[in-house]
Amino acid sequence: QVQLVESGPGLVKPSQTLSLTCTVSGGSITTNYYYWSWIRQPPGKGLEWMGAIAYSGSTYYSPSLKSRTSISRDTSKNQFTLQLSSVTPEDTAVYYCARGGVVAGTVYDYWGQGTQVTVSS
């Protein structure tokens, strides 16, 4: 059973960098051929795929967020991380990590519980 847990600050100030970590258990983030995604849901809106990191370490980003987004990983800890720079209140959302991603119609078979991140001064 794969489990994912998001962690990081729940409050970030405008202009700062949002940093979240997804800790994976029950499966390795290096296992062929899985992808690991970050997805967010602003209040009252739908899910927005932000980006993903592949089993190989290759990264993929939503065009709308690419300039501000960086996804990396620490294979020794079985973790992958999200950094979103220059945040504004519009980045307030519940942030999820999940297994799956990149292509349209992808299935996210495992999800973290989600973590609320509020951007406010």
Which residues are CB-neighbours of 63 under 8 A, at least 6 positions away?
A: none
pLDDT per residue as tens, the chain (121 positions): 999 999 999 999 999 999 999 999 999 999 999 999 999 999 999 999 999 999 999 999 999 999 999 999 999 999 999 999 999 999 999 999 999 987 877 899 999 999 999 999 9
Handedness of CA 98, 31, 79, 1 (dihedral sign): positive
Which residues are CB-neighbours of 27 under 8 A, at least 6 positions away?
A: 2, 34, 99
pLDDT at 105: 74
